Structures are given as structure tokens and as C-alpha cells.
Amino acid sequence: MLESGYQLAPRAGEMDRRDGLKPGNRFLGRVVGCNGSRATIAAVAENGETSLTELWSVGKLVSISVGSNRVVALVYSMQTISEGWGEEASNTFRIEVELMGEVQVGPDGPEAFSAGISRYPYLGAIAHRIRVSDLARIYDPGQSDSCVIGKLTQDESLDATIHVPSMLAKHFAIVGTTGVGKSTAVTLLLNKAIAADPKLRVLILDPHNEFAAAFPDQAVVIDTDTLDLPFWFFRLEELAEVIFRGRPPVPDELDILRDVIADAKRAFKGTESGLMRRHTERSSITADTPVPYRIADLLAMIDERIGRLEGRNDKPHLRSLKNRIVSAVNDPRYHFMFSQNTITDTIEDTIARIFRIPGDDRPIATFELAGIPSEVVNSLASVLCRMAFEIGLWGNGAIHMLVVCEEAHRYVPADPTLGFLPTRQAIARIAKEGRKYGVSLGIITQRPGELDPTILSQCSTVFAMRLANDRDQEIIRSAISNSSISTTSFISSIGNGEAIAFGEAVAVPMRMRFARVEDARLPRAHGITDKVDDDAPPLADLRSIISRMRAVNGPDISSFQQSYLAAQTKQPPVHEENGLRGNPEIERFDRIRAQILSGDADRASDRSATAVKQQAGFGPPSSLREGSLRDSLLKRPLGSLIRK
């Protein structure tokens, strides 16, 4: 709807007149006070009329004539001089404005807006309604590749435009309370960004599973059923977050895990195992190197360390670590980490799928986190953000990556004692260094007060929607330059879909309303619809719901039994081929391997070996994909990895 000031203009073009004080002109009042950043305007409403006062409103721009130039000011406060309002008397009121810039008229006639002010208003200078042409000139980013994202609140006949490359070059943030339209704004901005940059690849960390509906033709949905993110992608701290279920790791167990992971990776590559390797030997493979290894190797090496002890209770942390690993492997919620596809080198396929390289006309990947255990979400966010930065770092600018973090205060909270340190470091690295390598960051949060201020300060473009919390409002005010601090004085009362945009992508702080998105492309969680038919019968499958809650399916052990028996009959005499028969240390290691393969709990050194047997298909039901740990045990016997 148009502002009332423009509705009252009787003829087209009369709003741009400035001929004295005739009725219908744009005269509003005169300047009665001014300092370096603000001014006070006095106006009189004669005979109790409100026709003049209707032209004023908080958040509206006005202009002040100073010679041939026009100073642009933002209204942020107004009040009458007297405490009451005279119905038949002349009422004097004052308006406080903040000086935003100046429309300068060149020697040859061209006009341009400048954020600086060459001549400040003098006392008695006339304040008037701003011209439509001046509004368009003020909010024009001045770039040919700008795009329209909505309409100006002050005059909806004018487009609200931003410069997308500037928005992505130094990151952006969208803040606002629940229900104001943040997700819809993200959908609109991402569509504009993809259209402006064909090389852009977008990864959305979606904790509510709502963006799949917003990009049906442009996004690939990655959820717990389609995700294959091998455990060997995780660095030591990230894997420890999973194994220790979000609790601080035990230092002794973490030290052992660091050693045995590196040994298991060397064993997978065919190098000397940690059993026979000299301690002085150095290798480029560490616990953080993204190369495959087998959980079976890891468990056997821990068992080998237990077997070398004089008394089995001397090192309880070894047994505890093994139990933690077996528990994580057998947890059906972690099937995406320990599936059959995670024991081979699939790093190229995994990166290509998650980060959309080359993309196949689907440049967006929505990573749905709602079904992933809470103790794993932080590790996943750390892995994905770290890999996104490394792709940009080593891609030599061939790929422009955008990582969108919904509910970002979960990953980088303001309190340094909360959250997961590797995730904080990965996101902070993108925020501080990502622009150098073509990696951008999009922050979406409803609580900017709980977000790390360092991360928010790196976002050069901010779209501030309605915020009700005083702490959150103060954070946004501190992010805006002092010359525009009054812009957010009314941020608690703007409507849904409205935002105050400021930063690199806009010329001056801009109050605007986002354009509408098609109903079919609105972000929504799975199964949520706008209209519910009361007469339609419920379609929920209770058995399916309970099955997903338990994440358990019935096992199919027939194929495993056949593979197991074939492997037992065809297994080569490894020790005779390598001349290792008679070595007590090797024979003890072979017995440990045999216990894991056979699953005989009575002969195993502890009951945790039974859990590995169950993983293979003989034990209680598990939803891990068939053959995940089975293949890792049978494809390459551990005895063949040991050299004399």
C-alpha cells in the first residue's frame, strides 16, 4: 500500500513540486536544531488539523533543502511541545531525524546520492516530503548486476534491490524471531544468488527438514536414509564426539584412539601395521588423514594391546574404549557412518554428491539433520564446514561455495564453554578467511544474542527482521554503523516479511518487504500443509513410526552365512606363505582375529566381541546395512596385513 503522503497528492508529479508554501506542496516544516548527525524539525498543525501530521511516521525518509542539494534524513521520534492536543488551536510538534546522506546536484545537472554530507542544514531550512526519484537514487546499489528482492516499505512502487556478489563476498546474516519469515527470505535470496552466479554451490544445514520443499527442482536432499558419510572422514576430535556420545573424552582413551586409528589406516593401505612398526618410524598418515580403515582392524589392535598386558585389569581404559567403539558401531542410528559403503575409498563420490560437483543442474544440497542423533550433529557440521573450506582452498577459485547454517547459534554459541570446538573453528575459519577462496557463509538465527559476536561481525550484509528480545536488538544495533543507529529503533514492531537491510549489498540501510514466494515453493517441514481436511482419514502408519523410533529392522543372515562359510573354507594359510609360523606374538594376534570372525563369546577375551558378531548378522536385530562390518572382516583377513 502506498504511503499516505503520496495518496494525498491530487495530481501526478505534484509531489515533486517545491513552489513556496502553497497547499498540496511537499512542505512539512523547518529545521530548528542540528548537530553532526541529527536534526530537529518543527511543524505546526493549524486549527487542530491532522492532514500535516499524517505525512510523518517513524522510519520514513524526508529531505531538507540546503542550497541546490537535498539532505536525506530518517525520522525516528516525534512529539508535541505541549502535553495535550488542541482541537481548535494550532499544535506545534517536533520531529527528531537522523541525517543519512545527501543528494548532490552536479555542475552540469546530474544528481547522485552520497552517504556523506557536504553542507549541513541551517536553522530555518525547509523539510519536505522526499521525491520518488530521490528514493530510487538512494536505494540504487549502483551495480548493473543488482537484483530485486522486494519492495520499499515507504513506497511500494519502488523495488528493493541488492548487489548479490557483494552479499556473498563477505557473508550475510538473516536474524528474526520465530514466524517472521526467515526461511522464506532465505529461499528468495538463494534463488537470486543461484541465478546471479552459475558456479555457486549451496550446502544448507537444515535442522528442521524444511528446505527440501522450497527447492524441489534445484536441490538434492540428503537425509539419514541416503547419507553415506564414512567414519574415516571424521578427524580424531570429531570421531571422539560420536564415540563418547557428546561427553568430554577420557584423556587416556583418546591417546590410545589416536595411535590405533593411525595404525589401522596404515594397515588398510598395506604398510606395516602398528604391531611390527618401530616407534621411531615416521609416517605421513595420522589419525586426521582422510583415508579409509576398518573397524575390525581397530578392535583387533586394541585387543592386541590388552593381550600384551601382564594383568587384564591393569588397563581398564582399553576395555572401556573398545566397548565404546563397539557400542557406536552397533547403534542403528549411526548406520550412515558404518555402512558397507564406508570401508572403501569413496571420498570422491561423497564430495561430489554432498557439494554438488559438477552439480547436474541441482546446485543445492539440503542436509537434513532432524533425524540424526544430537550428539552427532555437531560432528557432522564440523566435517561439512571443514570440507567446504578445503574444497574452496584447493579448488583455485573454480567453485564458489555457500554454506547456509540454519539455527546458527547451536553451532557457534556466544558462550565459549558451550558448543563443539571443532565446529566453532570450522565455521569461524570460513567467516574469517573464506572470502579469499570463494567460500561464503550464510547465518540464520532467531537469537543473535546467543550467537558468537565474532561470527556475526564478519557478516557484512544483515537482514534484520522483527526481534522482540532486548538483548537481540542491542546486538543488531551494535552491528550497524553509528550514522544509522536509529534505523533499528523500530525493529521490534515491523511486520512479517519486512526487514531492515544494511551492509555491503545495499547503499544505505533500507526498510523493505520481501517479495512473495510461490505457495508450492514455501519451505515447510515434511508432512506440513497449509490446509487440513477434517473429513480425510488419518494416513499415519503407526508401525512405520515406531520402527523409525526404534530404528530396528529384522536381520537377514542367510547371505552372510554363505559368505562366512565360503571364507572359512577358502582362507589361505597366511602364516605359511609369509614364514611367520611359530611366532608367539603373531599367533596371539591371529587368535584375536579368529575370535572376532567366529563370534564365540565364551572364548573371547571379553563380551564386547559378541557385539561385533551381532553386527555381522547373528545377534539381535540391527538396522545397519547388511554386510557393513561383515565385508570389512571378510574382504581382507587381518593376518595378511602382518609382515615379518
- Which pLDDT band, with edges at 50, 70 and 90, does 635 fall under? very low
Q: Is it the case that residue 576 has pLDDT exceeding 70?
A: no
Q: Is it the case that residue 42 has pLDDT exceeding 70?
A: yes
The pLDDT of residue 562: 47
User: What average pLDDT score do residues 321-343 get?
Assistant: 79
The pLDDT of residue 584: 56
User: What average pLDDT score do residues 310-314 get?
Assistant: 51
Share of the chain above pLDDT 90, in %: 9
Share of the chain above pLDDT 70, in %: 71
Q: Is it the case that residue 420 has pLDDT exceeding 80?
A: yes
Q: Please answer whether residues 32 and 97 qualify as being in contact, where contact means their C-beta atoms are separated by less than 8 angstroms.
A: no
- Helical H runs in 449-583? 453-457, 470-479, 542-550, 558-570, 574-578
User: What average pLDDT score do residues 60-86 get?
Assistant: 86
- Which pLDDT band, with edges at 50, 70 and 90, does 285 fall under? confident
pLDDT digits (tens, 9 = 90+) for 90-138: 888 888 998 888 888 877 767 888 888 888 999 999 998 888 888 888 8
Q: Is it the case that residue 444 has pLDDT exceeding 90?
A: yes
- Segment holding 366, helix H or strand E: strand 364-368
From the list 74, 126, 133, the residue with the least C-alpha distance to 100 is 74
- Which pLDDT band, with edges at 50, 70 and 90, does 530 fall under? very low
- Which pLDDT band, with edges at 50, 70 and 90, does 573 fall under? very low
Beta bridge partners of 364: 202, 219
The pLDDT of residue 580: 44
Beta bridge partners of 43: 93
Cell numbers at 45, concatenated? 498543525
Cα–Cα distance for residue pair 107/111, rounded to 1 Å: 9
Q: From the CB of residue 381, how many other CB atoms can be counted at a distance below 10 Å? A: 28
Of residues 204 and 48, which shows the higher confidence score? 204
Cα–Cα distance for residue pair 18/473, rounded to 1 Å: 38
Q: Is it the case that residue 43 has pLDDT exceeding 60?
A: yes
The pLDDT of residue 531: 47
Cα–Cα distance for residue pair 576/65, rounded to 1 Å: 99
- Helical H runs in 308-420? 316-330, 347-354, 374-394
User: What average pLDDT score do residues 397-405 get?
Assistant: 86
Cα–Cα distance for residue pair 291/234, rounded to 1 Å: 10
The pLDDT of residue 3: 35
The pLDDT of residue 305: 81
Cell numbers at 307, concatenated? 593381550
The pLDDT of residue 313: 54
The pLDDT of residue 587: 61
Cα–Cα distance for residue pair 95/97, rounded to 1 Å: 6
Cα distance between the two ends of the chain: 84
User: What average pLDDT score do residues 53-65 get?
Assistant: 83
Of residues 181 and 485, which shows the higher confidence score? 181
Contacts of 531 (CB under 8 A, 6+ apart): none
Residue 451 DSSP label: B
The pLDDT of residue 521: 83
Q: From the CB of residue 519, how many other CB atoms can be counted at a distance below 10 Å? A: 8
Q: Determine the length of the chain.
A: 644
Residue 359 DSSP label: -
Q: Is it the case that residue 386 has pLDDT exceeding 50?
A: yes
pLDDT digits (tens, 9 = 90+) for 148-174: 999 988 888 888 999 988 888 889 999
The pLDDT of residue 190: 92
Q: Please answer whether residues 327 and 611 qualify as being in contact, where contact means their C-beta atoms are separated by less than 8 angstroms.
A: yes
pLDDT digits (tens, 9 = 90+) for 2-17: 333 333 333 333 344 4
User: What average pLDDT score do residues 228-251 get?
Assistant: 86
- Segment holding 440, helix H or strand E: strand 439-445
Residue 152's SS3 state is: strand
Of residues 603 and 253, which shows the higher confidence score? 253
From the list 276, 267, 346, 270, the residue with the least C-alpha distance to 299 is 267
CA distances in angstroms from 373 to 58, 224, 244, listed in the order given? 47, 10, 13
Q: From the CB of residue 452, how many other CB atoms can be counted at a distance below 10 Å? A: 22
- Segment holding 96, helix H or strand E: strand 91-105
Q: Please answer whether residues 401 and 203 qualify as being in contact, where contact means their C-beta atoms are separated by less than 8 angstroms.
A: yes
Q: From the CB of residue 346, how many other CB atoms can be counted at a distance below 10 Å? A: 18
- Which pLDDT band, with edges at 50, 70 and 90, does 551 fall under? low
- Segment holding 193, helix H or strand E: helix 182-196
The pLDDT of residue 487: 67
Q: What does the buried/exposed string (b/e) look like for 476-492 if buried means 16 or more CB atoms within 10 Å of the residue's CB?
A: bbebbeebbebbbbbbe
pLDDT digits (tens, 9 = 90+) for 454-505: 888 888 899 999 888 888 888 887 776 654 566 667 787 788 889 988 888 8
The type of residue at 402 is L
Q: Please answer whether residues 397 and 438 qualify as being in contact, where contact means their C-beta atoms are separated by less than 8 angstroms.
A: yes
User: What average pLDDT score do residues 549-577 get?
Assistant: 46
The type of residue at 538 is P
User: What average pLDDT score do residues 336-355 get?
Assistant: 75
The pLDDT of residue 585: 53
Cα–Cα distance for residue pair 277/283, rounded to 1 Å: 11
Q: Please answer whether residues 367 and 222 qualify as being in contact, where contact means their C-beta atoms are separated by less than 8 angstroms.
A: yes
Of residues 531 and 425, which shows the higher confidence score? 425
Lowest mean pLDDT among 119-133, 356-370, 413-427, 527-541: 527-541
Cα–Cα distance for residue pair 162/501, rounded to 1 Å: 9
The type of residue at 349 is D
Q: Please answer whether residues 103 and 137 qualify as being in contact, where contact means their C-beta atoms are separated by less than 8 angstroms.
A: yes
Max avg pLDDT among 64-73, 343-352, 364-373, 504-513: 64-73
- Which pLDDT band, with edges at 50, 70 and 90, does 617 fall under? very low
Cα–Cα distance for residue pair 61/79, rounded to 1 Å: 17
Residue 453's SS3 state is: helix
Q: What does the buried/exposed string (b/e) look like for 310-339 if buried means 16 or more CB atoms within 10 Å of the residue's CB?
A: eeeeebeebbebbebbbebbbbebbbbbbb
- Mean pLDDT over each residue of the chain, to the nearest integer: 75
Helix axes 374-394, 421-433, angle to 10 degrees: 30
Cell numbers at 156, concatenated? 511500494
Of residues 320 and 582, which shows the higher confidence score? 320
The pLDDT of residue 477: 79
Of residues 131 and 635, which shows the higher confidence score? 131
pTM of the model: 0.73
What backbone torsions phi and psi does residue 557 show, to the nearest 5 degrees? -100, 0
User: What average pLDDT score do residues 203-229 get?
Assistant: 86
Lowest mean pLDDT among 91-105, 177-191, 574-588: 574-588
The pLDDT of residue 231: 85
